[in-house]
Amino acid sequence: MPATIFRKGLNLKNDVAGVLARDYHSHLIEEIKDSGYLWQSGRLTLHLAQEFGFCYGVDRAVDYAYQTRRRFPDQRVFLTGEIIHNPHVNMRLREAGVRFLTDPGELFDQLTPDDVVILPAFGITVRELEHLDRQGCTLVDTTCGSVLNVWKNVRQYAQDGYTAIIHGKAHHEETRATASQALRVDSGRFLVILDRREAELVCNFIRGTASREQFMKTFKAVCSPGFDPQQDLKRVGLANQTTMLMSESLEIGNMIRKAIVDRFGETSLSHHYRAFETICSATQDRQDAVTQLLKTHQFDFALVIGGYNSSNTRNLARICAQQGPAYHISEPSCLASASELRHRPVLSSSPPLPLATDSNIEERTTQQWLPATGPVRVAVTAGASTPNNIVGEVIEKLATFTDHS
């Protein structure tokens, strides 16, 4: 029996509103917003970016997950993996009895038609969806509309004979899901590129100055099966993981466009190259807001709050690190004391090859991170998967260190 799929929630929005507010709301954040995103306490002056935290896609995904638990109190409810990249939110869902299919011992193959499976905001691959459909589970699809829009364009590329070049992280759930959309068409092809360095290699191949061996050495694991760069880079369409750094995505698009013009000439560009904007507006708004904040004020440092595996949080941290000291922290306990801070090092430029993964960059401890005396000026922002209560708790903890000179 094919799966039943809920795509627009379960009509329980009002029923879960109270518990969502309990789990994620912050009075302090509301107060700071009401004061023009500025807050002062003791020697601390804190500016909050005008756009930060939960985006519309995450808001909706978390809402649907709570509705699912409420609607199916006696059935097993699973997530295919993290619903979003925030440890606090995932922990809350675990506490509500939601199980994660990525946990050791949980098996996709052992699901039954009585089970309910929630699909995360960044979506799942075509093959995973087909599998769940065959198992006959009830599915609650929270895939964000902005991700669905990318998928639609990637499918169109495949139908029209263009290879999808996806600027993203090959291991990220969203990029894996997006790449799988290209393969819904028999002749569909994809290639994932991480950064400018990899884009340069693709451009060199297009221009004929890099060999097939050099190309395959770097991209073998991140392209579609049977990928032939000689054939499959003649007509390309650009797409992104929605949470990448906007400026980098644009630059990569331009680099590839130029290489195509060099190889095939300006007049046949549209036959060989397509592009469309796939950074979602929420990601862009958060990047623009923190850029603006850093441009208009002086800060001792910036605090960027979000899961260490959150792509959009990491890109916010990269923007901040270009302007001055910036610390990417995941939760209030990272502020261990007035002299010690735990944080994830910010990659201000692209990581060296081979691909860096989320798990191979360790948390670091920095001593003397806070000026010991005098005024402290701090910029704060948070990734699209970070709830307000976590941002509020970080600020409250920071204030306990700066209340006295």
Residue from 83, 147, 193, 321 touching ligand SF4 (CB under 6 A): that is 147
Write down the catalytic residue from 82, 128, 173, 174: 174
Q: What angle do CA 273, 189, 256 make, to 5 degrees?
A: 30
Calpha distance 182→156 (Å, rounded): 8
Q: Which stretch binds ligand SF4 (CB under 6 A): 51-59, 126-134, 225-233, 287-295?
A: 51-59
Residue 170 CB, nearest approach to ligand SF4 (Å): 17
Using CB under 6 A, pick the residue from 57, 168, 332, 392 that binds ligand SF4.
57
Pick the stretch among 4-12, 53-61, 151-159, 324-332 that binds ligand SF4 (CB under 6 A). Answer: 53-61
Closest CA to 332 of 398, 404, 266: 398
Q: What strands, in cross-sheet order, belong to the sheet with 236-240?
A: 190-193, 163-167, 236-240, 273-274
Element (H, E) at 357: none
In whole angstroms, the minimum distance from the beta carbon of 243 to ligand SF4 comes to 5
- Look up residue 294 and give its two tokens: 């850093």
315-319: long-range pairs with CB below 8 Å, 24+ = 315/243, 315/244, 315/245, 315/283, 315/287, 316/286, 316/287, 316/290, 316/381, 316/382, 316/383, 317/344, 317/346, 318/245, 318/346, 318/347, 318/348, 319/245, 319/287, 319/290, 319/291, 319/294
Is there binding between residue 118 and ligand SF4 (CB under 6 A)? no
Rank residues 135 and 283 by Cβ distance to ligand SF4 and give the closer one: 283
**DSSP letters for 99-158:** EETTSTT--GGG--TT-EEEEPTT---HHHHHHHHHHT-EEEE---HHHHHHHHHHHHHH
| 153 binds ligand SF4, rule: CB under 6 A | no
Q: Is 55 in the site for ligand SF4 (CB under 6 A)?
A: yes
The C-alpha torsion from 176 through 71 and 3 to 173, rounded to 10°, is: 0
Q: Cα–Cα distance between 337 and 367 in angstroms, integer?
A: 9
For the CB of residue 367, give the shortest distance to ligand SF4 in the complex, in Å. 34
When binding is defined by CB under 6 A, the residue of 243, 330, 381, 386 that contacts ligand SF4 is: 243
Is residue 174 part of the annotated active site? The answer reads yes
Ramachandran angles phi, psi of 205, nearest 5° = -65, -45
Q: How big is the site for ligand SF4, counted in residues (CB under 6 A)?
A: 15
Query: What are the φ/ψ torsions at residue 165 (nearest 5 degrees)?
Result: -100, 115
Distance of closest approach, residue 285 Cβ to ligand SF4, in angstroms: 10
User: Is the CB of 62 or the CB of 170 nearer to ligand SF4?
Assistant: 62
Stretch that binds ligand SF4, among 50-58, 192-200, 247-255, 342-350 (CB under 6 A): 50-58
Question: By CB under 6 A, is residue 289 in contact with ligand SF4?
Answer: no
Q: How far is the CB of 53 from ligand SF4 (least distance, A)?
A: 11
Cβ neighbour number for residue 248 with a 10 Å cutoff? 20
Per CB under 6 A, 144 contacts ligand SF4:
yes
Show the binding pattern over residues 383-402: x = contacts ligand SF4 (CB under 6 A), - = does not.
Answer: -x------------------
The answer to whether residue 283 forms part of the interface with ligand SF4 (CB under 6 A) is: yes
Asked if residue 306 binds ligand SF4 (CB under 6 A), the reply is no
Q: How far is the CB of 307 from ligand SF4 (least distance, A)?
A: 13
Residue numbers annotated as active site: 174
Which residues make up the interface to ligand SF4 (CB under 6 A)?
A: 55-58, 121, 144, 146-147, 242-243, 280, 282-283, 312, 384
